[in-house]
Structure 1
């Protein structure tokens, strides 16, 4: 509870800062704030040079592929590949896909630069409700709001050289809020994300790193951090088994 409360307060400040900065920029968009726009970098630079470290590899998929609205492809072994940006309405399409595929889907493989937080949260909740696993394959990307989807998996696995990154969430809409509206929205969204991650069993560290990173940068998580924050479960399970033996 203490960690969630700390995250709540920290995020409120982060949200207010970002939204006020957006208002001061008038109609100028933040670089990288929308993976669906052609001038937005799919893979933003690290927060600083070397600290935290840069992504381990370049994504295997071309930027144009990742910028396309998310599409779904059922692969052998019950793996539903979800590739592309999380545009508005992605959660509805995902729910329809899961309903149509029934019990054939066992896990969701993610390759996405992020997008709509609302849709990411809805997808994550459905994944947990259906008891599905999540994974990010070698040289696949799961950034921005995508890790929220990843967190929904019962078992969560990131392959070697998978690219997972987080940063501040923000209002990418056309309406410029007042500072009061920005703070209210910050508190509401912060509470929802903090509560969701806590319910998914994810440690506070992931969210704190996101709060510290501007929306045009990414904090790239190392395999060690993913395990420590309980974002991945395979390493945790292996450690527990080793301890028993």
Structure 2
């Protein structure tokens, strides 16, 4: 309740203060900047001060199309971090720590609020203090409340609360994958979905949106995430990892495939005519049309397209008894 009251107050002050900032023509709001050539991106660089929750509100007002917050900060004010994190969550913004950047302490609260979140740089956490025993207790209470809403893994919270305030725990690439710290966008029902891409020995993607099932314009879209690549390396169909006689760790395997991360794909199907079109990144379109040829082997490349058709057109797939 206390946090909500502060948020409402900040909203009122932000609206009153915005006009002078826009007239001045500046794209900077404390540590936040908005590049007019990228109106969907807000960048945060530098320490988080007490007034920066208001500055973030100003940045949001200035860039209403914002979808992504790029983070590079050593941390700072816990309560400002909590308020900014709450705004990120409520506006369904995504967060990213670019390679070479870092997001420590209070900045991590903002990172965890992202609808989609990707840590390519350094992510660090530790105990948060709020000024005196009572302030610290209240800060911890608010952190637990928000981190629960953000669905932060319990293992991550345990590390945060047991790391002394004077040190910082930086997650390794392996831990980021193991704790599922990175995540992609959610499908409409709030659950993650698999996007079939693998033809016996490849990786799958993550489904982010699906519509028009069984219709003439059935569609779905998705993205390749780090967990998708880690799952592929754990499965290790090519025998590349040490446990299967190879030379790489799972983390090294996934890192070598990092160029595939964030690749987007989409599939469009006319369920009535039995035609499916699949687009992966910048690669040429792939098409499947019913009835299928006898060769549905891995070499044909049909298995993932059949799986996609079953997801978008289950009635027609059942009629043709599609299998591979």
TM-score of the aligned structures, taking structure 1 as reference length: 0.61
* SS of 1:110 mapped into structure 2: strand
Give the 5 Å matches for 1:2-151: 70-74=31-35, 76=38, 78-103=40-65, 105-151=66-112
Partner residue of 2:166 out of 211, 216, 220: 216
Change (3 A) 1:77 1:239: farther
CA contact (8 A) 2:39 2:63 kept: no
Shift of 1:190: 1.7
Shift of 1:191: 2.0
Shift of 1:90: 0.5
Shift of 1:156: 0.3
Residue matched to 1:8: none
Query: CA–CA distance in 1 between the matches of 2:115 and 2:32?
Result: 22
* SS of 2:76 mapped into structure 1: coil
Q: Which runs of 5+ in 1 are unaligned?
A: 1-68
TM-score of the aligned structures, taking structure 2 as reference length: 0.47
Change (3 A) 1:201 1:232: same
CA contact (8 A) 1:213 1:219 kept: yes
Change (3 A) 1:77 1:93: closer
Residue matched to 1:232: 182
Residue matched to 1:197: 147
Higher relative contact order (CA 8 A, sep 6+): 1
Residue matched to 1:165: 124
CA contact (8 A) 2:31 2:45 kept: yes
Query: CA–CA distance in 2 between the matches of 1:231 and 1:197?
Result: 12
* SS of 2:96 mapped into structure 1: strand
Shift of 1:241: 8.6
Q: Deviations over 1:99-150 (max 9, x none)?
A: 11111x1200000000111111111111111111100001101001111000
Query: CA–CA distance in 1 between the matches of 2:93 and 2:59?
Result: 14
Indicate the structure with greater strand content: 2
Query: CA–CA distance in 2 between the matches of 1:186 and 1:116?
Result: 12
CA contact (8 A) 2:34 2:63 kept: no
Aligned length: 165
Q: Deviations over 1:138-182 (max 9, x none)?
A: 1101001111000111000112xx1111111113x5xxx4xxxx1
Query: CA–CA distance in 2 between the matches of 1:79 and 1:204?
Result: 30
CA contact (8 A) 2:128 2:140 kept: no
Residue matched to 1:54: none
Query: CA–CA distance in 2 between the matches of 1:149 and 1:209?
Result: 17
Shift of 1:71: 3.2
